[in-house]
């Protein structure tokens, strides 16, 4: 794997608009600016995702006049938890990621799932080509917008970062939140905590919503609510 800090996009959508920036001054925190308040305030005073947040997350962008250091609406653009995590070997799941210190506040930003952003056709081609591999690093995220399903495919097999090693759990402590900054697509797929995380606790999220014995692999998450099978996202 080649380590990268941001996603590699095969081809940009030329029809995507550049979002307008806020007019905050360099001394503003952007706690309630036009970007952060577009669909409700995104983050609280602790820089954690608001627990009541239900709408899309728009962070300040390259057109904004605010200071990157003082802005409170650029959480996913700042440092992640890479210095506070450790990649480990697990008995039944291959590699995994643990937090080396406790994370007290729900909504804490953990990191972004990065890799190659693929078209749907290329994603299907790679799924067929790698179906016999033990590990699959192709993440599909489905968003429901105005009766439509918006699909984002990110493959971290060849290019990625440490988040590719985060395992599934039927009782996860993380979830994925799509974040938009400059343009509508592709969104950044960011991990945030769902609850307090203890030191040396393994980080995890749910791999999908679909479960069947034909397509699902055995699950080894060992949680009390384990379904016995790994869920997946339906690609069709």
Predicted confidence at residue 12, as pLDDT, reads 61
Domain ranges of the chain: 21-78
Banded model confidence at residue 13, pLDDT cuts 50, 70, 90: low
Banded model confidence at residue 58, pLDDT cuts 50, 70, 90: very high
pTM (two decimals): 0.93
pLDDT at 235 over 70: no
Predicted confidence at residue 91, as pLDDT, reads 87
């990268």: which residue's tokens? 4
Can you spell out the DSSP letters for the chain?
A: -EE-SS-EESS--TTPPPPPPP---TT---TT-TTTTBTB--B-TTS-B-TT--S-EE---TT--S-TTT-SS-GGGS--SGGGEEEEEETTTEEEEEESS-B-STT-EEEE--SEEE-HHHHHHHHHHTTTSS---EEEEEEEETTEEEEEEEE-SSEE-GGGGPEE-SS-SEEEEEEESSSSSSPEEEEEESS-B-TTPBPEE---SB--TTTPPBP----TT--SB--B----
Banded model confidence at residue 59, pLDDT cuts 50, 70, 90: very high
As a whole number of angstroms, the distance between CA 18 and CA 185 comes to 10
As a whole number of angstroms, the distance between CA 205 and CA 174 comes to 5
pLDDT at 187 over 70: yes
Give the pLDDT confidence of 144-166 residue by residue, as tens digits.
Answer: 887 888 999 999 999 999 999 99
């Amino acid at each position: 794997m080649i380590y990268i800090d941001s996603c590699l996009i095969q081809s940009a959508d030329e029809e995507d608009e550049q979002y307008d920036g806020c007019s905050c001054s360099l001394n503003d925190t952007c706690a309630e600016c036009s970007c952060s308040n577009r669909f409700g305030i995104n983050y609280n005073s602790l820089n954690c995702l608001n627990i009541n947040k239900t709408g899309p997350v728009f962070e300040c962008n390259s057109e904004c006049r605010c200071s990157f250091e003082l802005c409170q609406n650029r959480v996913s653009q700042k440092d992640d938890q890479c210095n506070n995590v450790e990649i480990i070997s697990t008995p039944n799941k291959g590699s995994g990621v643990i937090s080396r210190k406790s994370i007290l506040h729900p909504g804490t930003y953990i990191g972004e799932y990065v890799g190659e952003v693929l078209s749907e056709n290329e994603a299907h081609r790679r799924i067929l080509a790698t179906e016999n591999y033990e590990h699959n690093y192709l993440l599909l995220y489905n968003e429901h917008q105005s009766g439509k399903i918006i699909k984002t495919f990110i493959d971290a097999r060849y290019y990625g970062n440490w988040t590719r090693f985060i395992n599934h759990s039927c009782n996860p402590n993380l979830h994925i939140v799509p974040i938009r900054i400059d343009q509508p697509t592709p969104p950044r797929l960011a991990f945030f905590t769902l609850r307090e995380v203890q030191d040396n606790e393994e980080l995890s999220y749910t791999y999908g919503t679909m479960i069947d014995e034909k397509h699902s692999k055995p699950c080894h998450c060992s949680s009390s609510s384990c379904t016995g099978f790994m869920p997946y996202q339906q690609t069709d």
